[in-house]
């Protein structure tokens, strides 16, 4: 190994370490204060879905990281709103909706995380174009974002939330099927159900 390649390797390891530190710091703060284990379950479902779709290993890693960080923008949302047991007001819902763009800004600030940031930004887009933040429709929504949307929704349904009790696995699958083609990519719904 030459001196130059040693320097390049050390620079690469330093950049990787810095990214990892930033991600772990945000993730630890985020998971302790807001989401409990939701992010880890979404990340696991995203990884499993990436394997089901036979994505490249690099793409699976990006998908898994994006799944882990998908709600990181909620650190900018008032905790009382996130924990509210009843229906949100229009103003409260607007504040919650900002989290995907806030998450994008946090993640994109880490060099080399631009793709992950983009996937996080669009994880609340809907197949029918009625999502946010940009009302993207169909395949204009990044594939990874469409996967995160499914994993996020499924995990939210099968676990207790401040505003409702958990659904059974079967009831959650029925919801995914019911929303296939409007909220979710219909092709991905079928593949997602296979990994459950």
Q: What is the pLDDT of residues 29-73, one digit of tens each?
A: 554 544 568 999 999 999 999 999 999 999 999 999 999 999 999
Residue % of the chain over a pLDDT of 90: 74
Tell whether the model's pLDDT for residue 120 goes beyond 60. Answer: yes
For residue 84, what are the contacts with CB-CB under 8 A and spacing of at least 6? 92, 162, 163
Check residue 3 and give its pLDDT: 53
pLDDT recorded at residue 23: 60
What is the pLDDT confidence band of residue 83, given thresholds at 50, 70 and 90?
confident
- Upper half-sphere CA count for residue 29 (Cβ side, 13 Å): 10
pLDDT of residue 163: 80
Mean pLDDT of 117-139: 99
Task: Give the mean model confidence (pLDDT) for residues 142-163.
Answer: 95
Complete domains list, the chain, with CATH: 3-195 (1.10.3210.10)
Q: How far is CA 138 from CA 40, 146, 152, 187, in A?
A: 27, 9, 18, 11
Instruction: Return the SS3 of 196.
Output: coil
pTM equals: 0.84
Smallest CA-to-CA distance from 66 within 155, 154, 145 is with 145
Average pLDDT over residues 105-131: 96
């Amino acid at each position: 190994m030459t001196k130059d390649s040693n320097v390049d390797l050390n620079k690469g390891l330093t950049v990787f370490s810095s990214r990892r530190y930033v991600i772990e710091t945000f993730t630890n703060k985020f998971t302790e204060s807001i989401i409990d284990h939701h992010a880890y379950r979404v990340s696991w479902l995203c990884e499993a879905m990436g394997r089901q779709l036979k994505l490249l290993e690099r793409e699976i890693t990006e998908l898994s990281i994006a799944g882990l960080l998908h709600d990181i923008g909620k650190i900018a949302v008032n905790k009382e709103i996130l924990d509210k047991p009843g229906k949100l007001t229009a103003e409260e819902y607007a504040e919650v909706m900002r989290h995907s763009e806030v998450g994008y800004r946090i993640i994109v600030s880490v060099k080399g995380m631009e793709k992950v940031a983009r996937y996080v930004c669009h994880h609340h887009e809907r197949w029918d174009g009625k999502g946010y933040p940009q009302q993207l429709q169909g395949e204009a929504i990044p594939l990874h974002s469409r996967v995160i949307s499914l994993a996020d929704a499924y995990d939210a349904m099968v676990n207790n939330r401040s505003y409702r009790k958990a659904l059974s696995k079967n009831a959650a699958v029925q919801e995914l099927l019911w929303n296939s083609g409007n909220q979710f990519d219909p092709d991905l719904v079928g593949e997602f159900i296979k990994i459950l």
